[in-house]
A = this chain, B = another copy of it.
């Protein structure tokens, strides 16, 4: 199977929303009047972002999901994506499942594949995603203000729990592991919540490198600090048998969550709850933005918790 047959069989589909899709030197995109184009790129490398044993169907889903999560964090609605793929060999069974997982998620969000590149090389998946957002209406990391509430969607730390079990550092019942593994391998981009928070949230980011580290990006770009007072083990980390301290560490430094962390003024709390309800996405308030720089972590009684937590760094 050659390069062009590979594209034809697994990835070429007619463009419906875009003026021009796969098959020419460029694809063409046309944002609607008054809209800006939001763009994000993520590259996934075997052994670093996924295990070689992962089901290619789940890998196809995840490769697009992590990009869609960036659109969600800006409040953008998905439009299209391009896929660049380096493969050791043109393995048909692998391609069949990979493209199925990828395109199923794409279809469920009306996000069409408009171009890309395929080449021989060590397995590498690079997706660039395109979304639309009203001009001036994107949710940014820089908008948090003193007094704002801090929220996270869904549950945080589930993916890291699965990784710790893979690494042999934690042991949980099989059902918990399977649920955690699905969270690691098939994350859910919070697109509906991101769009519902347009005009309501003051800042937003998706949690990919750990809650503490990603909150840190919001704080530094907004020039503020935060007091986190309501983080405890939640989601699958609240399972029996996981020490409370371990669970809290994994919540804060976990990574691969693809949940949204966002801020909003207390005056918008009803609108925030309505956005969560409208998008059928659970949210939790975890703390407050303060004018003083720094991130302070306190328990429910107000006692300061001193903990070491670091965000993920690919070159540290």
Contact = CB atoms under 8 A, between A and B. Distances in A.
Contacts of A167: none
A29 to B, nearest CB: 4
B314 A221 contact: no
Interface stretch (A127-135, A240-248, A264-272): A127-135
Contact of A4 (B1, B30, B204, B313): B313
A173 interface: no
Interface in A138-184: 138, 140-142
Contact of A29 (B3, B36, B83): B36
Contact of A117 (B23, B41, B140): B41
A28 B119 contact: no
A114 to B, nearest CB: 7
Interface stretch (A69-77, A102-110, A289-297): A69-77
Nearest to A84: B43
A122 interface: yes
A259 interface: no
A187 B68 CA distance: 34
The winner among A20, A25, A48, A83 for most chain B CB atoms within 10 A is A25
A2 B315 CA distance: 5
Interface residues of A, number: 70
A252 interface: no
A138 B26 CA distance: 9
A126 B43 contact: yes
Interface string A199-243: 000001110000000000000010000000000000000000000
A316 interface: yes
A28 B314 contact: no
The winner among A71, A74, A76 for most chain B CB atoms within 10 A is A74
B74 A25 contact: yes
A304 interface: no
17 contacts: A19-B135, A24-B140, A25-B206, A26-B76, A26-B138, A27-B39, A30-B135, A37-B37, A39-B114, A39-B128, A41-B84, A43-B124, A48-B119, A48-B120, A90-B315, A119-B314, A121-B122
Interface of A: 1-4, 6, 19-20, 23-31, 36-43, 45-49, 70-71, 73-74, 76, 82-87, 89-90, 114-122, 124, 126, 128, 130-131, 133, 135, 138, 140-142, 204-206, 221, 313-316
